[in-house]
Structures are given as C-alpha cells and as structure tokens.
Structure 1
Amino acid sequence: MVAAPLHDRRPSPINDRYSASSHFLNQPAWAVQLANLCWIYDNNKITIEGATSLAFSEDVRARFAGYGWAVRHVSDANDLAALGASFDAFRAETERPTLIVVDSIIGYGSPNKAGTHSAHGEPLGVEEVEATKRFYGWPENETFLVPPEVADHVGGGMRERGGGLRRDWEALIAGYVAEYPEQAEQLNHMQRRTLPEGWDADIPGFPADAKGVAGRDANGKVLNAVARRVPWLVGGSADLAPSNKSRMTFDGAGDFSAADRAGRNLHFGVREHAAAAVANGLALSKLRAYQAGFLIFSDFQRGALRLSALMELPLIHVYTHDSIGVGEDGPTHQPIEHLASIRAMPGMIDIRPGDANEVAEAWRALMPIRHEPVALMLSRQPLPTLDRERYASAAGVARGAYVLADPPSGAPEVILIATGSEVAMTVDAYERLIADGIRARVVSMPSMKLFDEQPRSYRDEVLPPSIMARVSVEKGSTFGWDRWVGPTGAIIGMSTFGASAPLKVLQAKFGFTVENIVATARTQLGLEHEANPPGVTLETSESAETLAQ
C-alpha cells in the first residue's frame, strides 16, 4: 500500500493584503476548511504614496478571525523563534486556514529610508546601499557577493536534500503506478495535460429543431458528457449555476466541501473575481478547471482573466447571457463591448457558438488545448438547431470560421458573416437572398482568434479577397469587425448600450432582423441605395487585412 499522500502541498503566499482580492477569496477558504492554506500578511504599514493610514484603517486580524481563520501574530519580523512557532501552529491546524500577521519594517537596515515609502518604490542609491551594508556588517565595496557558507548551503545541503526528496517522490510514484494503474494513468494525463482515449465519446449530437436549444442548456449537456470521462475536470459558478447550467449533475459529481473532498462542483458565492482566481490556481495544479458566470460580470474578473492568458493556462471560462438577448434585465446586464474586449486579450481564445452542435464542437476544439484559456460565450435564449444535412457540418468550429452555406450554383457575390445567436437569422436571410436569385454565402465565425490562426490559404478560401460585398451580424460592439468585412463592408452590430424590452422588440430596434440583413446585403451589391437601415453601421478601414491578403 502507498505509504504517503501523493500531494501534500501547504501553500503559503506572502502579501501586504492591501487589496480587494483578500475579501473575495478568504471566506470560501474557511467554508471548505482549507487547513493547508497559510497567508502571511506583511504588515509594514507602508504603501507607494506613504503610510497605509492615508487610506486604510481596518483591523486585518479581526477581519480574518471573523472569516473563521486561525490568526497568529508575530510582532517582529526578525524574531525567528516566534515565526517558527507560528508555522508549527499552522502545520498542526486541521480545520481552518491560517493567517500569520507579521509586523515588519520595510527597508530594514537602511539608516535613512527604513520604514518609509521611499524604500517601497525607489532605489536606495549608492550611498544608502553602502550605509545599509555597514548596518549588516557586509563588505561595502563588494557587489553580487555570495559568501562561501551560502554557496555551500545552496550548492551542497539544499541540493542533497532536494535530491533525496526527488528520489523519495519517484519511489512513491512507482509504488502508486504498481498499486493503482488506472488512477496512475489519469494522473499522467493530468500532468501532461492530455486526454484519455474516448474522452468525447458521449458528447451528444443535436437534431435539427426550429425551436432549438439555448446555448447555456446545450453547454450543460456537453459539459456533463465530457466530465464523466475526464475525472479531473472540476469547476463551479459564482452563485449562478442554476441559471448558467454549469453544474455537473451525474452520479458521483457531488459538491466539494469540508465533508466531501471528492466533490467536483465548487461554490464560490457571489464572488466573480474569486471564481476566476481560484480556477487559475486549480489549473496551475494541473486539474482541468472551468468557472462560469454571466458575460457582463466578466468585468469583475478582468485581472484574473488576464492572468489566465498571461500564464498560458488551459482554463475554461463559461459565459452565458452573452448579448442583448438578456432582454428585460436591460442595459446594465446586457454585454455590448465584452466580446471585443475578450478578443482583444492576447492569448485568450474566444468561442461564440451559433447552435447546439456548434457548442458540442466547441468542446471538442477546446479540451485538447494545453496552453491557452478559452472564453466560451453562450446564449440565454433558445437558438434554432440547424439542419446539418442541408448546411455544413459544425466541425468547422475548430478552425474558427467556416462556410456554412453557399449558392446552389455559381460563385458567391455577397458574404454574410455571423456569430452565436445571429447565425440562424443570417441563414434565414441567406434563404431569402437565394430565392431572389442573389448568390449569397454564409460564414459562421464562432472564433476570430482560431480563424486568425489558420493558414492564409484557408482564410482566403472562406473569405475570398475578391468578394468585397460583405455583411457581418453580431449583437455586440462593432469594434474589430472592419478587419473581416473590409473598407466597404457593412456591420450590423451595437454602437450604443441596449435597452429593457423583450428580445423581439430589441432585435427590431437595433436592426437584428432577417429583413434588415437582406436589405443590407442588397445595398452592398448596389441593388438598393437608400439610407442605411436601422442598426447598420458602415465602417471603413485604411488597412482591411482580409482584403489586403
């Protein structure tokens, strides 16, 4: 039998805790009794502008005690015995996370800058460095000095200790592989960020249906199908799981809690930033993690989202209620600029599926990704499930954009490009144009980022540079669409905030109708020359990349 746990981490981050993140993260840590977590609060009472008393007055120890944490206080950062006792108490704790408040002097040893904000954000300077060296009894004129005792300790003792720990770890793993071969294989997949054979075998297909399925509902079904076969897929929502359908509901999924460490559903409460930040940490540990919320609330997660991209984590950000389709909740809850904002973030892959089968193919595309986060943006409202015998397979999602429908004969003369909930109405507009003898093409573009990564030959095949009559349709900001429609193309999108009304009323108000798409396409071909219909923005670009390529 394996004699020790495979993982026995005791994370101990150090921070001055002068940030909002400490409020969002710490109560959930108590609720699930993360007794292996220890925060070290460097209480130096200094910020870049001056003393913390300028803008900070809370009693941090009392706040964390109120969260239910075990709180220790060390009144002198140089008191090694007191520090050691606090860490011993932490290691003995079995029910609560620990906060160790350490009173320190910033710039300690600097005769003229210790305890001041100058030591926080400015170099000490040559003279002050020399004075500080005198305080520590350090050779004043030496630079980058490593005493032999330090070199011996690091190069000898630590290396020997580390080598021994490594050998112990390898022996432990060997025993685990021998005793638990199935779990060892799963662990190997986790560490390499690979997937087990047949991981996507249960992903459902969705039959053609004019009434359709909401993006969030389809996603819930696909998520559960994948999670059954990938046991290390874990995640949760910021108190929105019943609405965004992000809960794993199959037998054995359970809720992660103090009583059930095997549970795979996490509860973050109304803490959007914490949801994304914790998911980052889970991904760093090689679990496959997701977090879910409304797209409008991605604003609250911006720092954590940026870090997931910066750290190249294969994290899944599930966002529902992705447009003015939110309806009566109104402009405060209707994301407008958020699609463009997500797409602008380096390393963040955007996917906005157009029907249930595109949701299924989105998961087939995103799960093998090993070094990039994905923002999966889904509708609240039902979307018609397209007839994939009549139109192209949804497998094109993996390439970011694909030709969904083409003229029955002849080359297309106008291209209609749509994403998400606007794909079905664009297909309806295509059918009317075809009936009128106009050779139209429909391109579904669920992911600008994935499409941009394709070879130029493929991009030119989907969007031939010679076809300049183009119309894009998306219930989001028009920002960024000029690249794909070119200098003379039309963009049907949002240039204002939304409004509080039923979806059909909003679609008519902002120009998201079949009639508007048809009229705009005809205008692009010079068949009609009246003023732009409502909701249409004609934009020009000095460097329309698609047409220039």
Structure 2
Amino acid sequence: PEVRNLCGELIAAKKAEAALWNEKFTAFKASSSAELQSTLAALLQRSVPSDILARLLKAVPAKETATRNSGGEIMQVAAAAVPALVGGSADLNPSTKTYLKGLGDFTPANRSGRNIHYGIRELGMGLASNGLALSGTAIPFSSTFMVFADYMKPALRLAAIQNLHEIFVFTHDSIFVGEDGPTHQPIEQLAMFRAIPGLTVIRPAESYETAHAWAAALQAGGPVILCLTRQNVPNLPADVVPRIALHRGAYVISSDADFELLLMGSGSELSCAMGAAELLRQQGHKVRVVSMPSWELFEKQPAEYRESVLPASCSRRAVVEAGSGFGWERYVGSQGLILGIDHFGASGPYQVLAREYGFTAEGVCNNVRKFFGL
C-alpha cells in the first residue's frame, strides 16, 4: 500500500505540473505573433513540406564531390524547410559537414540555436538525440565517423525499439578513409546497422542519391542512418538522374535485353559496378546494373517490384560493397559473388587501397569473369 500511495502521489503531482505547463503554453501561444504561432505549429507537427525532394535536388553540386560534402549542402536547404531539424556532431562538424550555417549554437545563453556541440561523447549524443525525438517537437540528427558508431550502439537500438524519428549521419563510410588506417576504416558497421530491427539504412552512391536519401529520412517517421563518403564520387549520368528511385531501396541503372549478368552496388562502389558493366559489354556480355542503397526500403516494396529489379531467372549475380559481405547472400543467392572486405583495411591513399582490394572497374570485371568462368 505504501508503494501504491507514493506512486499515486507522484502521478498526481506530475499531472498538476503538466496542467500548469499547458496553461502557460496556451497563454504564450495566444499572445504570440502569427509568424511565431505558425513556427510553433510546424515544430509540434514536425512538418516536412510535400515538395521537400524538389527543394533538396536544387542544392546538389554540379561537380563531382564526396557525399558528405553534398550532404552538407543539402542539409542547409533541409534546415530552412524543416524548422524541427536540429542536431550536431561528436566534435567533428568540419569533417562530417553537418553544421547548420547561420542558425546559431544551442547554449545556456541561446536556447534558440539549432546546432548542438556534443563533444567527443558519441553515446551521450545518441541518447540526447533520442530524448529530443521523444519530446515530439524535433527531428534530431547526430553525426560522427561511421567507425565510431560502435560507441552509439545502445542509442541506435533504443531509437529502433521506440521507432523514434531521427537521423544518424555517419560519414567516412569505408576503407576509403585512407591513411588513418584500420582503426578508422569501418568494415563490420554496415552489417551491424542492418542487423538492428527497425532501422532504415541508406548508403547513397552520389550527390543526387544523397538528396533523395535526405528526403526519405525527413519523411520516414522512424530512425534512419545515412552512410556518406569521405572521398569524391562521380555523379550519375544525366539520363539516369530523373529515374532515381532510392525510395524503393533498389532500382535499375542500366540493362541490356536478355542480360546474363546482374551487378549490384551501393554507395561509392556503384560506380565500380557501372564501370565493370561497360567493360563486360565491350567483351560481348549482356549486363544489368542495379543501385541498391537500402535493403530495408527494398524489402518494403511489393514482390512484383522486387522481382522486376532482381529477377529469379538471372542467377549470375555479383554485388560490390567496400565492407563486410555478411548478409548479401540473400540478394546474390547461392551461386552469386560478393565482392566485399571481410578483413581489416590498411593505411594508404584511398586510390591505392581501391586498386589493391579490387574496387575498380577493372578489378570488378576481372573478378566477375573469373568467378563465372567468362
């Protein structure tokens, strides 16, 4: 009885506090300008404009760049369109490119700032971001290097359990970090993300896909991880850009009639798959190339769509992704080839690592020919 009584008293006290707060908030809204009331409504509803993708696509750089760079430019447009977007990084804004320009820093003296300086506290950052999402007034983001996501695992898991609408931006997403070496080169992190139920993982191939990825993340309603590159990557051909279907998780980049080979790629390795396909075509082979930035979005598609992208009739399948190959078996099948990295990397320029580990058009082409006996 004592415990029951104590809990009842606490509940009654908290209800009284909530009622008082709501009374003050109602009075505040009533005395506010129409502009402030509109902003408050957008915050409380966490509104995202219906044309958000079109707005974000206007921010895509014309030149070849890293997806962390294009992501940083796209974020500025997103923040202007979505007042609820707020967040920060674990002391890595200059590298992750996630600082919201002109929107101030959140400090004891400035509670309107939308940039939060978390310091080198990845777990604390993730949990604080979860709290912001639980408040119901923010779509929070947090960012760091992908390899440091290990420190955030409990926060990622809790975000998924609670289906919190937040965005985790992990840059430097592969061994192509380069000279920092194995301690900073993620290998198993993508597999970890994909193993957590309820997380949507998106690894865009280039700047236009990155705009689509940000639009998907803002509209998701649950936790999303964006995996972005440190190194520059080529943009998709102009004829492909209007056909980008990242919201479906995977889509056809190019396809020959009666294709005999199917090459898949995610992130920066999509360009390797595309280059390898051209080499294989020059040798008389018919190829389909598929961009697959998100398993989770793909699995939500109707069976008919999934079959149209990855038809069962084609068993000669290969995937290219610079990380652990764990899990790709479900898409390449028992007769397929996984071109991944199931060991730690090495210190060196990323171009050298790409060549040594076979992540070039020539390397992929040669490995595909050898594996399938072409």
AA at the equivalent of 1:427: M
Matched, 1:228 2:77: no
Task: Tell me the distance in 1 between the aligned counterparts of 2:176 and 2:24.
Answer: 56
Which protein is bigger by CA-based radius of gyration?
1
Task: Tell me the distance in 2 between the aligned counterparts of 1:165 and 1:471.
Answer: 57
The structure 2 residue matched to 1:216, chosen from 68, 74, 82, is 68
Check the 8 A contact 1:208/1:387 in 2, yes or no: no
Q: Which residue does 2:44 correspond to in 1?
A: 191
Matched, 1:387 2:234: no
The structure 2 residue matched to 1:399, chosen from 235, 248, 273, is 248
Task: Tell me the distance in 1 between the aligned counterparts of 2:261 and 2:363.
Answer: 15
The verdict on how the C-alpha distance between 1:394 and 1:224 changes in structure 2, with shifts beyond 3 A counting, is: farther
Q: Equivalent residues in 2 for 1:358-437 (5 A)?
A: 358-370=209-221, 372-389=222-239, 391=240, 393=242, 395-407=244-256, 410-437=257-284
The verdict on how the C-alpha distance between 1:171 and 1:506 changes in structure 2, with shifts beyond 3 A counting, is: closer
Q: Which residue does 2:293 correspond to in 1?
A: 446
- Residue 360 of structure 1 aligns to a residue whose secondary structure is helix
Q: Equivalent residues in 2 for 1:146-545 (5 A)?
A: 158=12, 162=15, 166=19, 169=22, 172-173=25-26, 176=29, 179-196=32-49, 198-205=51-58, 206=60, 209=63, 212-249=64-101, 251=102, 253-286=103-136, 287-370=138-221, 372-389=222-239, 391=240, 393=242, 395-407=244-256, 410-523=257-370, 525-527=372-374
1:207-258 Cα shifts (integer Å, max 9, x gaps) = 765xx11011011001111001212211111110001111111x3x011112
How much has 1:174 moved relative to structure 2?
A: 7.1
How much has 1:343 moved relative to structure 2?
A: 0.5
User: Where do 5+ consecutive residues of structure 1 fail to align?
Assistant: 1-132, 137-144, 528-549
How much has 1:492 moved relative to structure 2?
A: 0.4
Identical aligned pairs, as a percentage? 41
Higher mean alpha-carbon deviation, 347-356 vs 422-431, is at 422-431
How much has 1:522 moved relative to structure 2?
A: 2.9
Tell me which of the two structures has the higher relative contact order, counting C-alpha pairs closer than 8 angstroms and 6 or more residues apart.
2
Check the 8 A contact 1:220/1:246 in 2, yes or no: yes
Task: Tell me the distance in 2 between the aligned counterparts of 1:380 and 1:327.
Answer: 9
How much has 1:278 moved relative to structure 2?
A: 1.0
The verdict on how the C-alpha distance between 1:494 and 1:316 changes in structure 2, with shifts beyond 3 A counting, is: same
The verdict on how the C-alpha distance between 1:485 and 1:177 changes in structure 2, with shifts beyond 3 A counting, is: farther
Q: Equivalent residues in 2 for 1:134-145 (5 A)?
A: none
1:353-373 Cα shifts (integer Å, max 9, x gaps) = 100001001011110111x21
Aligned length: 370
- Residue 262 of structure 2 aligns to a residue whose secondary structure is strand
Check the 8 A contact 1:273/1:300 in 2, yes or no: yes
Task: Tell me the distance in 1 between the aligned counterparts of 2:17 and 2:91.
Answer: 45
AA at the equivalent of 1:448: W
Check the 8 A contact 1:358/1:394 in 2, yes or no: no
The verdict on how the C-alpha distance between 1:504 and 1:165 changes in structure 2, with shifts beyond 3 A counting, is: closer
Q: Which residue does 1:74 correspond to in 2?
A: none
Check the 8 A contact 1:354/1:423 in 2, yes or no: yes
Task: Tell me the distance in 1 between the aligned counterparts of 2:131 and 2:61.
Answer: 38
Considering fraction of residues, name the structure with more helix.
Answer: 2
Task: Tell me the distance in 1 between the aligned counterparts of 2:80 and 2:339.
Answer: 40
Task: Tell me the distance in 2 between the aligned counterparts of 1:277 and 1:171.
Answer: 28
Check the 8 A contact 1:411/1:439 in 2, yes or no: yes
Higher mean alpha-carbon deviation, 227-236 vs 463-472, is at 227-236
Check the 8 A contact 1:469/1:521 in 2, yes or no: no
The verdict on how the C-alpha distance between 1:430 and 1:393 changes in structure 2, with shifts beyond 3 A counting, is: farther
AA at the equivalent of 1:444: S
AA at the equivalent of 1:274: G
Check the 8 A contact 1:392/1:404 in 2, yes or no: no
Task: Tell me the distance in 1 between the aligned counterparts of 2:39 and 2:31.
Answer: 14
- Residue 178 of structure 2 aligns to a residue whose secondary structure is helix
The verdict on how the C-alpha distance between 1:467 and 1:198 changes in structure 2, with shifts beyond 3 A counting, is: closer
How much has 1:189 moved relative to structure 2?
A: 3.6
Task: Tell me the distance in 2 between the aligned counterparts of 1:169 and 1:381.
Answer: 49
How much has 1:180 moved relative to structure 2?
A: 3.4
Task: Tell me the distance in 2 between the aligned counterparts of 1:175 and 1:324.
Answer: 52
The verdict on how the C-alpha distance between 1:471 and 1:258 changes in structure 2, with shifts beyond 3 A counting, is: same
How much has 1:165 moved relative to structure 2?
A: 5.9
The verdict on how the C-alpha distance between 1:300 and 1:171 changes in structure 2, with shifts beyond 3 A counting, is: closer
User: Where do 5+ consecutive residues of structure 2 fail to align?
Assistant: none
1:456-513 Cα shifts (integer Å, max 9, x gaps) = 1111111001100011000000100111100010010001100111112211221212
How much has 1:426 moved relative to structure 2?
A: 1.3
Task: Tell me the distance in 2 between the aligned counterparts of 1:399 and 1:198.
Answer: 18
Task: Tell me the distance in 1 between the aligned counterparts of 2:50 and 2:189.
Answer: 36
Task: Tell me the distance in 2 between the aligned counterparts of 1:458 and 1:271.
Answer: 42
Check the 8 A contact 1:336/1:476 in 2, yes or no: yes
Task: Tell me the distance in 1 between the aligned counterparts of 2:349 and 2:16.
Answer: 65
- Residue 387 of structure 1 aligns to a residue whose secondary structure is coil
